[in-house]
Amino acid sequence: MTDNQHTDHLGKYRLDGIIGQGAMGVVYKGFDEDIERPVAVKVLHSHLLGDDLGHELATRFRLEAKAAARCMHSHIVTVFDYGVSDGAHYIVMEYIEGIDLKTLLRQERQIPFRQASDTIFQVLSALEHAHKNGVIHRDIKPANIMVLDNGHVKVADFGVARLASSDITQMGYMIGTPGYMSPEGRSGATVDNRSDLYAVGVVFYEILTGKRLKLERPDNATMKGELIDAIGDPVTAARIHEILMASLQENLALRFKDAAEFSQRLGSILSPDRKHFPDTDELAATVLRTARQPIAALRAQIGASCPTDETASEITTSMIAQAVSYTH
């Protein structure tokens, strides 16, 4: 199977068309005919296997499947299968309809405080589970956080994950996305669960303020001012600033020790008198509105010939699905 070539089947899975592609691979919408379930099938680009790094990339691809398969959790994209067919390496995942947080931010600029906080709360739940199962994600960023059209959040792409029982990902020096990496990650040092929590702090600040944090020398006064502008309430902004600083400490000993501690601190702000449960309704409305924006632009361009509400609804669902790349 050559790159971008459409075939009817891969292994036992029917392929119904491309829904996303990136530097590492192509993702197809597929169908498991044995149990009649829609799936997403991620296929490693075949041309990557032909050079000196081919074996390492194939090994990392298999590690991605192993890492995600360890983490059966409602806030993690589920992996069903891994295989090689006619030289094509593939991972079979749950097919979800939603958009990644990067796309959402591109359209919305920033996300309201409660929605942003509930997004992070769900990410922390996923990481708490992953860390307990010996998996460090190592590439937490908006592009790897999927927001479904029901407001639920799922963490995706364990392509550079580190397994406690494996040293496979030690072959590289600096692994991850520099703009979201912890100081120890940027230096190439060994990372642990606290490196993921650092990245969560960076993402949280970005979705609250719509601005990327300067990791080298984050300015406290600037951070506080932007948080007040984003949140509105200075008292709440100050408490969120304390949480961010606890996740962004350069000294590991001063950082949150685990995702549970991070989420408990955040939950105490969101629901002071009870255990916090995310409200997904408003986030779902934001996702659907964002997905419909291209429909509104299309209407403005072609006027009366634009799709009807019913057709637009169908197109919206399709567009949401198309935005799920899995391949960042």
- Annotated catalytic residues are 149
How many residues can be counted in the chain?
328
Residue appearing with tokens 């990902």? 169
Q: Give the integer Cα–Cα distance in Å for 228 and 111.
A: 14
Report the run of H or E that residue 216 belongs to, with start and end.
none
At 315 the three-state DSSP class reads: helix
- Which runs of consecutive H residues, i.e. helices, occur in the chain? 54-69, 101-108, 113-132, 183-186, 193-209, 220-231, 234-247, 259-270, 281-302, 309-322
Please state the three-class secondary structure of 262-314 as a single string: HHHHHHHHHCCCCCCCCCCHHHHHHHHHHHHHHHHHHHHHHHHHCCCHHHHHH
